[in-house]
Chain A
Amino acid sequence: MVFPEWLAEPGLNHFLVVSAILFSLGLLAVISRRNIIMVLMGIELILNSANLNFVAFSRYGALSLEGHMIALFVIIIAAAEAAIALAIALNIYNRFGSVDVEQISELKE
């Protein structure tokens, strides 16, 4: 069994393609799912794909350890964002009785 040459040795492009697929799936979760928790999970996928790009470029490209640092800061901010977003989702559930994003269409006067 013979593999094509570009398939045999994973390089930068392979990681970039995986991250592009992850980004697309996260975008799909954000725009097609209606549960607010699912939208959050999609955002986590998108952040992970961006992180994967940073780390891949710091391995193969000219971005040295700075790529790792940026990935770490993205992880930190994702943690803060998840905590805040979950608190907001709980508040929305208490007020509207649902976490369907299409039913959340009212503002306080």
Chain B
Amino acid sequence: MDLFAIAFYVFAILIVGSAALMVFSKNIVHSAFALMFTLAGVAVFYALLHAGFVAVTQLLVYVGGILVLLLFGVMLTTRGSFMDVKTRSVNLLPSTFFVAIVGGLLIFVFVSTDWILLPLTEDQVSLPGLGELLMTDFMLPFQVAGVLLLLSIIGAVLMAVRKKTLKPGTQ
């Protein structure tokens, strides 16, 4: 077993284990921290797949941004003491059964399909290629994504700070 295989299996166990912990943990703060390990493990997987820029973006955006946002959401939507942040699950047994069927089906399809594989290329820096694609083929999605982010920031701020103030005259 070479280093790649060892790293793959270690981080696969980390990802799947902490994802399971996230789903089955009763305490939502524990869930959020388990999600952090899952996301960091997925970033390592991107690095193993020679997608360095995606790995760094995953760390910055998911672990640094979305996870903090989720923790803020937990804190702001919890009543009283912070120690009993318990949440409940419903229909755990049937949904686990259903999800096991879905997962088994997916794995069966993935393993039994004859994927067209290309020979592995040498490791290369993907950043110049990504920048070039961003400025040529993906120009429109790039601009639209910028507008989308602006819109979502404005919308989130407007929704989060809206107070119930009646305008004069509307009653």
Q: Which B residues are closer than 8 A to A by beta carbons?
A: 1, 4-5, 8-9, 12, 15-16, 19-20, 22-23, 28, 31-32, 35, 38-39, 42, 45-46, 49-51, 53-54, 57-58, 61-62, 65-66, 69-70, 72-74, 76-77, 79, 87-92, 95-96, 98-100, 102-103, 106-107, 110-111, 115-118, 120, 126, 129-130, 133-134, 137-138, 141, 145, 148-149, 151-153, 155-157, 159-160, 162
Contacts and interface: CB of A to CB of B under 8 A. Distances in A.
Contacts of B20: 25
For the complex of A and B, 3 pairs with smallest distance between CB atoms? A24-B103, A80-B152, A35-B87
A37 B72 CA distance: 10
A78 B51 contact: no
Contacts of B89: 32-34
A33 B38 contact: no
B156 A87 contact: yes
A60 B31 CA distance: 32
A44 B18 CA distance: 14
Given A60-B115, A89-B73, A90-B160, A32 B66 contact: no
B53 A68 contact: yes
Contact of B133 (A27, A65, A76, A86): A65
A55 B69 contact: no
Contacts of B54: 51, 55, 68, 71-72, 75
14 contacts: A3-B1, A12-B115, A23-B102, A27-B102, A31-B91, A34-B88, A38-B87, A44-B70, A45-B22, A48-B42, A72-B130, A78-B66, A88-B159, A93-B77
B120 A55 contact: no
B27 to A, nearest CB: 11
Contacts of A104: none
